[in-house]
Structure 1
Amino acid sequence: MTAPERVTISEVSLRDGLQIEAAILPTGAKVALAGALADAGLTCIEATGFVHPKVIPQFADAEAVMAALPRRPGLRYAAFVPNERGAERAVAAGVDLKCGVAASDRFNALNVRMTTEQGMQSIGGIARVAAGTGSRIVGVVATAFGCPYEGAVDPNRVDRLFAQMQELGSPVTYLADTTGMADPGAIRRTVERLRRRWPEARIGLHLHNTRGLGLANALAGLDVGIRDFESSIGGLGGCPFAPLAVGNVCTEDFVHMLGAMNFETRINLDRLLDAARLAQNLVGRTLPGMVLKAGKASERHEAAERESKLG
């Protein structure tokens, strides 16, 4: 028998999930959620962002969060960094540096106040800060499938950004559907184009469920060989610089689907659902994840008796 193929999930709820939340979660709540995610078996967790607190107040406690997170063998944390100063803080905290550039100038300017070209130069500076440390650069090509301000993005620009991440040694480079513009056909075309040029590159997908296509796009990625994905517990998230943004692909829904398809994640779904309940309690509202509402497909229920009424 062939062993199930492994899919690796990077959990982004503590960063991408919380950055759009108006209520600031206490440091202890963030650390508790990270612990619950780690207990479920997640080995890659994006825990915070080293950004100016005036830009995203949710991450004003970035150092405190990183100092309190549970550390265990095989568990890697990452933090979003927009510039060299953020990189210095992340290296001091001993975490991987998540850095990206949008293929759209307009979106990149809103996100990090730089053009795409300036962003590419900034990534070079971030790489110099990380060089020789235990912190890796993990690259992201944002708005890789379209921009709500500029529309279609130039494939050549996506390729250039992807090439830069490869040159900087990113162990996996994520193509981000930052604002939910992708469809399964676009996922397939983009991945196949990059694979032709970089057949050995490790490509990941960061998907949003903005228009209800999150899992469909993930399935398209699986079909063309993608085995690295980013998702968010409960479907938390949404980019604060995208109009009408809604959440990321839901981690527990995705893990449930992968299990049904006989992929290996090494994630305990029951504990993951516990983490989703915790996240829902912490933000104080019902989250969009479906398995948390409906339960696992493997669960069985007693049939309720119905009274028959004639006439």
Structure 2
Amino acid sequence: MNLPTKVTIIEVGPRDGLQNEQSFVDTEVKKKFIRQLAASGIKEMEITSFVSPKWVPQMSDAAEIVQAAPAGARSIVLAPNRRGVDRVLDTASKAVALFVGVSNTFNKKNINKPTKESMKELRPIISELKKKDFFVRACISTAFYCPYEGRIPEADTLSLCREFVEAGVDELSVADTIGMAVPTESFSLFSLIKKELPEPMVTAHFHDTRRTALANIFAALQAGIDRFDTSAGGLGGCPFAPGASGNVATEDVVYMLHRMGIETGIDLNKLREAIDTIAPAISRPIDTGYYQLTGNSD
């Protein structure tokens, strides 16, 4: 069995996990959540997003969140366009996530542009960010399935990944945005990406809509992937992906990896403390396996 001895977890709860939460989460609660995640041993995380406050009020405190970013962790902020990047440049952030959907329909509904137009806009932005010593993460949405177009050909996903690599990004985060992939598809796509694009870091991003995320992670591990996006408490969901549930839960992934003898550097008890902080501030109960089995007060 081809498995790594160590895996890096990229925590996306503070950004991807909270972006679709209808009730505004107090900024101080977000800051505490992020601090506790870092204290649990997480070294990389998406902490906020520089999107329009009009469309995503939850992220209206992005600049303040960046100011409170924990030392010793790579704190990534998402920027959907030129305007968002300009706002990032006014902060102390040095790590940016940019995103594009493989599906044209999804991309149009998400950022009102077809995929090719998005890439045309992003190439000079990536070049500019790299010249300013930014870490640049490319988030590849609808890499397996699209809620509007159905199955996405592997060749299309690989082509978009290659465009980002040629543009100079440091990392590819390849997402099963609506949680429809199965382990054979996970193994196939990630094996292809690792074979064809060996240079950049490749991260797998799974949603748990159909409860296949852990199985897909296991398949990706065997394909050579050792980086995974996860969300504490299984928080998340995408307003432009009907039916998609939250991201795979950090605590469930870490528990599985530790039982398999794979190191993550994350303390599960401290991670649960972070979830205890955010749980009262969100609209739905935390129902992930590890969290429920280890007990919560509410």
TM-score normalized by structure 2?
A: 0.93
Kept after mapping to 1: 8 A contact 2:76/2:95: yes
Q: Distance in 2 between matches of 1:282 and 1:134?
A: 36
Q: Distance in 2 between matches of 1:137 and 1:284?
A: 32
Q: Distance in 2 between matches of 1:61 and 1:101?
A: 24
Q: CA deviation at 1:284?
A: 5.2
Amino acid at match of 1:62: A
Q: Distance in 2 between matches of 1:89 and 1:160?
A: 30
Q: CA deviation at 1:251?
A: 0.2
Pair 1:126-2:128 in alignment: no
Cα-to-partner distance string for 1:135-175 (whole Å, 9 max, x where unaligned): 21111211000101000113332122101221233222111
Aligned to 1:29: 29
Deviating more after overlay: 143-152 vs 94-103 = 94-103
Q: Distance in 1 between matches of 2:67 and 2:200?
A: 33
Q: Distance in 2 between matches of 1:159 and 1:20?
A: 28
SS at match of 2:6: coil
In the TM superposition, 1:253-268 aligns within 5 A as 253-268=252-267
Aligned to 2:97: 98
Q: Which runs of 5+ in 2 are unaligned?
A: none
Cα-to-partner distance string for 1:59-88 (whole Å, 9 max, x where unaligned): 111111111233x23x11011111112112
Amino acid at match of 1:87: V
Output the aligned Cα RMSD.
1.7
Pair 1:89-2:65 in alignment: no
Q: Which runs of 5+ in 1 are unaligned?
A: 297-311
Q: Distance in 1 between matches of 2:125 and 2:76?
A: 14
Q: Distance in 2 between matches of 1:285 and 1:203?
A: 31
Aligned to 2:5: 5
Amino acid at match of 1:60: S
Aligned to 1:76: 74
Q: Distance in 1 between matches of 2:51 and 2:25?
A: 16
Kept after mapping to 1: 8 A contact 2:142/2:176: yes
Aligned to 2:222: 223
* Identity across the alignment (%): 36
Q: Distance in 2 between matches of 1:33 and 1:95?
A: 21
In the TM superposition, 1:101-112 aligns within 5 A as 101-112=100-111
Aligned to 1:143: 142
Cα-to-partner distance string for 1:10-60 (whole Å, 9 max, x where unaligned): 100111100111001111111110001011010111011111112211111
Q: Distance in 2 between matches of 1:156 and 1:284?
A: 39
Q: Distance in 2 between matches of 1:13 and 1:95?
A: 19
Q: Would you say how many aligned residue pairs link Structure 1 and Structure 2?
A: 292
Kept after mapping to 2: 8 A contact 1:84/1:129: no
Amino acid at match of 1:55: W
Kept after mapping to 2: 8 A contact 1:83/1:125: no
Q: Distance in 1 between matches of 2:263 and 2:69?
A: 26
Runs of 4+ in 1 over 4 A off after TM superposition: none
Q: Which has the higher contact order (CA 8 A, sep 6+)?
A: 2
Q: Distance in 2 between matches of 1:137 and 1:283?
A: 30
Q: CA deviation at 1:291?
A: 0.6
Aligned to 1:309: none
